[in-house]
Amino acid sequence: MAPPDSAPLSHEPPFVRSKWRFLPAILIFVAITGAAAFFIVRAGKAVKPQRVLIAIDVGGYWWNGSAAAATVSDRLAARLSKLGFDVVKGGDPEASKILEKSKSLREAADQLHAGFLIEAKIVPEIIKHDVGGGYVELRVDSKVTLTYAGEAPKEVGHIVSFSGAAELKEARKLIADSVSDQAMDAVIAPMVQHPAIVEITSKRATNESALLAPAVEWVDRRDKIMKKTMESYDAARAKRVESEKGNPRPTFLSAPSAHDELAGVGPKGFLASTNDIRPFFFPETEQMGWLVQLEAVEWRKVDAAVAAGSAGELQWKGYNIFGYPSSQGDRAVLVEDLFGLAKTITVVDAAGAKPRRIKFDPEHRFIDPKLSPGGKFVATWDRSCPSCAGDLLVLAADTGAVVFQANRENGGFGSFAWLDDHRLVFVHTTSGDDADAKLFPRPKPKVEPGKDGKDAKNGKNGIDAQKAKPTADELTGGSTLDPEEQPKLPAVSVWTLDCAASPASAAVLAEPIEVPPLVGVETLAVQPGGKLVVFGSGRSKLTSLDMTTGTFGEIAIEGFARWPAFSPDGKLIVFEQRNDYVDNEIALVPTAGGKTLKLTLNEANDRLPTFSSDGRFVLYETIEEDPNFPKTHNLSWVASIPVPTP
């Protein structure tokens, strides 16, 4: 029995382990694991700024099976990857599945965690040429857009290119290199300068910033080189303006980096044939080069404020124009070189009209086509081989029918020009070979019948009219002399061809005008009205020829003259004044004779002057060395100088 005062023994309840004792630890573990999983999943789903999806459609996307798009994608991806971007790999089966199933490219980009989406839809203009068994030309002018996640698409550049091949598929593949280069050029700076990328690259010593450092350096390098390149054109122009010592100074109607040729003048202004290049920093080699731009034949106003560098009224566009075009009124004519496979004479009836190829030849070369006033005929040199001298060819501009064709045989043709809308004047130099005479089937002279039918007057060739009654042909003069009856050709002669004689295909040659010895008859120009012709033969005088009397004259000048041109009123002649081979100036002399006025004074090669259609300006071409590609490319500017008032 326990003592009454003692407290009963306390018994601690037996220790019972709670089955929930691990619950707090488990809950904490689950919470930590859950949080970690949440952040991992979120990080996995998050868009990565440096990740890029390339979606360039070239006849479809690569995941649809377009080989050309695949080439573009791979090449662009390789370049961007080299600079540190994480590109969605073209050809990756997982990416392909996502791209095939997604409703939009942006949805696909989000699923692929791509921050940037590069898009372009390359829809080439397809031109089929019936040459060499079939040839396809592609021309591309497409915009490139760049979209960052959550933002609107931005147009960042244009892709302009062309290619040609025997088949469309091959032509598409050929264009891929240029497309990928230009796409890279368009997108890289906007990507590198995007705030999301700047945020990465501005952090030092992180893996991500180190990865993208090459991209930043590349853009920086390119921008510096491009800036220097473009500034050099402006500097070349400024230097050139400064070096012009003439008064007034000429106004340059072409952009500083242009290659414009002066093809003609008209009421619309001047006809420019453009052959521009676009300086380009090639990603593969990191060297400056150029991209050939689409060539154009366009009318530009002579007004300096409008003309310089701006696009004119387009007459024709394409690639590989051969030589100088010419125009009369709305109609223009040019020669196209179809990828070396053929040359064509192409007529464009008006700005925006569909070009017509009126003559096509896989071997011959057509040089310097000239439209007659009114545009009904085209006269051109026709060379049967690259080094051959030219024959003379005249075609009907509407149909391409041959109006006159004369092979040079052993002699040679000199310059030609249109006297009026149907008469062509040209120069021929004979070798003395009898064969040359056969070139020009001269008509039999007309026989005038006597009043009594008995005393017919002799023609020039002494037909005995008394011996036989004249035939109808002899009466009309409609037949040509037999080859044996052809008189010997003068050593050098000026001929006039009448293309409007009936029938149209049988153009008629008038009697030639013999050129006296030592008279130069090169680079001729026709005075409006067609009565006077002048020749600039590189001598210290211009040779004139009165077409009605056949009389030669001289107009004294300073220096040596080539390429004369008459003012619209015929009172002035402008010409290339040569002092040496390199430095040509432009000079002016009255048709009636008088003092030679030098219009330009510089160290450049000014050439091919002409008057504007209103006679107020002299337009000419001037050549400059391209400061960025000095040995391989020249600049060519059209310039104007106001005609001095007397």
Provide the binding-site residues for another protein, judged by CB under 8 A. Answer: 62-63, 65-67, 69-71, 73-75, 77-78, 80-82, 87, 89-93, 96
Assess contact for 305 and 251: CB atoms under 8 A.
no
Closest approach, Cβ 155 to another protein, in A, equals 24
Parallel, antiparallel, or unpaired: how do β-strands 365-371 and 377-383 relate?
antiparallel
- CA–CA distance, 189 with 182 (Å, rounded to integer): 12
Q: Shortest Cβ distance from residue 88 to another protein (Å)?
A: 9
Nearer to another protein, 175 or 403 (CB): 175
Q: Which residues of 29-44 are buried (b: 16+ CB within 10 A; e: fewer)?
A: eeeeeeeeeeeeeeee
Task: In angstroms, give the least distance from the CB of 63 to another protein.
Answer: 8
Contacts of 349 (CB under 8 A, 6+ apart): 330, 331, 356
Q: What is the smallest separation between the CB atom of 80 and another protein, expressed in angstroms?
A: 8
Query: Closer CB to another protein, residue 87 or residue 114?
Result: 87
Q: Which class for 101: exposed (0-12), middle (13-18), buried (19 or more C-beta within 10 A)?
A: exposed
Given the complex with another protein, which of 63 and 252 has the nearer CB atom?
A: 63
25 vs 305, beta carbon nearer another protein: 25
Q: How far is the CB of 2 from another protein (least distance, A)?
A: 25
Q: How far apart are CB 64 and another protein at their closest, in Å?
A: 9
535 forms beta bridges with 524, 543
Residue 63 is given by DSSP the state G
Residue 87 beta carbon to another protein: minimum distance, rounded to whole angstroms: 6
Nearest residue (CB) to another protein, 69 versus 608: 69
**Cβ nearer to another protein, comparing 106 with 172:** 172
Shortest distance in whole angstroms from residue 70 CB to another protein: 4
Distance from the Cα of residue 351 to its chain's centroid: 16
Size of the chain, expressed as the number of residues it contains: 646
Q: Give the DSSP H/E element, type plus range, for residue 451.
A: none
Q: 54 in helix, strand or coil?
A: strand
Provide, rounded to whole angstroms, the least separation between the CB of residue 77 and another protein.
4
User: Is the Cα dihedral 196, 201, 206, 210 positive or negative?
Assistant: positive
Shortest approach of another protein to residue 628 CB, angstroms?
31
Give the residue ranges of DSSP H helices in 340-448.
434-437
Q: Which is nearer to another protein, 2 or 16 (CB)?
A: 16
Q: Minimum CB separation from another protein for residue 322, in Å?
A: 36
Dihedral of the alpha carbons of 519, 521, 526, 529, in degrees to the nearest 10: 50
**Closest CB to another protein among 69 and 98?**
69
Instruction: In angstroms, give the least distance from the CB of 505 to another protein.
Output: 54
Q: Does the bond joining 248 to the residue before it have cis omega, within 30 degrees of 0? A: yes
Q: For residue 22, what are the contacts with CB-CB under 8 A and spacing of at least 6?
A: none
What does the buried/exposed string (b/e) look like for 162-184 if buried means 16 or more CB atoms within 10 Å of the residue's CB? bbbbeeeeebbbbbbebbbbbbb
Q: Are 490 and 512 spatial neighbours (Cβ–Cβ below 8 Å)?
A: yes
Distance, CA of 539 to CA of 543 (rounded, Å): 9
**Nearest residue (CB) to another protein, 108 versus 608:** 108
**Minimum CB distance to another protein smaller for 173 or for 370:** 173
Q: If we measure between CA atoms, which residue out of 359, 444, 349 comes closest to residue 405?
A: 359
Exposure string for 317-340, b = 16+ CB within 10 A, e = fewer: ebbbbbbbbbbbebbbbbbbbbbe
Residue 71 or 493: the one with the smaller Cβ distance to another protein is 71
Shortest distance in whole angstroms from residue 82 CB to another protein: 8
CB atoms under 10 Å from CB of 629, counted, come to 16
Nearer to another protein, 52 or 200 (CB): 52
DSSP code of residue 242: H
Cα separations in angstroms, 554 against 121, 492, 518, 541: 63, 17, 12, 6
In terms of Cβ atoms closer than 10 Å to its own Cβ (0-12, 13-18, 19+), residue 484 is exposed
Coil, strand or helix: which one is 30? Answer: helix
For another protein, the closer of residues 67 and 351 by Cβ is 67
**CB closer to another protein out of 77 and 456:** 77
CB of 376 to another protein, least distance (A): 53
Report in angstroms how near the CB of residue 81 gets to another protein at its nearest: 4
List phi, psi (to 5°) of 212: -90, -5
Q: Which is nearer to another protein, 89 or 158 (CB)?
A: 89
